[in-house]
Amino acid sequence: MKGGDPYQAQVEAAAAAVAGRLSGLTDWRVSYQSRVGPLKWLGPATDDAIVEASREGLALVVVPIAFVSEHIETLVELDHDYAALAKGNGCPAYIRVPALGVEEAFIGSLAKITLEALQRTGGTCPGSSFECRGWSKCPRTERAA
């Protein structure tokens, strides 16, 4: 990374952590979708990985680990475009795991992590009220002024 965008390292670390929790899972890989235009994007590309795995006769379980909600990249690219690509290349099974969305445990964890981070930086007080201490762009502070 060397001071650049941490996205790739974070995605790959998250995937490795999940795979590590699944007993016996050894045949997995990370691929990247959504390259747009002529710009270089991360690789390997998901479409290339799907073609390769399909031609090897492997079934695919696709996990959109970098996405927390359903949107065009999951609902169109993964569910339709890539499913058709897999089928067209002989993939015996193509399964896409849903994004976390509004699962109670996920939302609760996000809330807990956010509140803990804000408390560490002095951005909030415990309880139901929210204070943006020291943040000059806080809408509540601007309204009160």
- Checking if the pLDDT of 125 tops 80, the result is no
Where is pLDDT greater, at 50 or 143? 50
- Checking if the pLDDT of 142 tops 50, the result is no
Instruction: Say how many Å lie between the first and final Cα of the chain, rounded.
Output: 42
pLDDT at 145 (0 to 100): 45
User: Mean of the per-residue pLDDT values for the chain?
Assistant: 83
SS3 label, residue 128? coil
Where is pLDDT greater, at 118 or 60? 60
Work out the average pLDDT over 54-75.
94
Q: Cα torsion at 139, 141, 143, 145 (round to 10°)?
A: -150
pLDDT at 137 (0 to 100): 52
Work out the average pLDDT over 80-89.
98
- Checking if the pLDDT of 138 tops 70, the result is no
Share of the chain above pLDDT 70, in %: 79
Q: Which long-range contacts (CB under 8 A, 24 or more apart) does 9-18 make?
A: 11/65, 11/66, 14/65, 14/66, 15/63, 15/65, 18/63, 18/65
For 87, list phi and psi in degrees, rounded to 5.
-60, -45
Q: How far apart are CA 55 and CA 73, in angstroms?
A: 24
Residues of the chain with CATH 3.40.50.1400: 7-96
**CATH architecture of structural domain 7-96:** 3-Layer(aba) Sandwich (3.40)
* Whole-model pTM over 0.85: no
Q: What is the DSSP string of 8-30?
A: HHHHHHHHHHHHHHSTT------
Where is pLDDT greater, at 61 or 2? 61
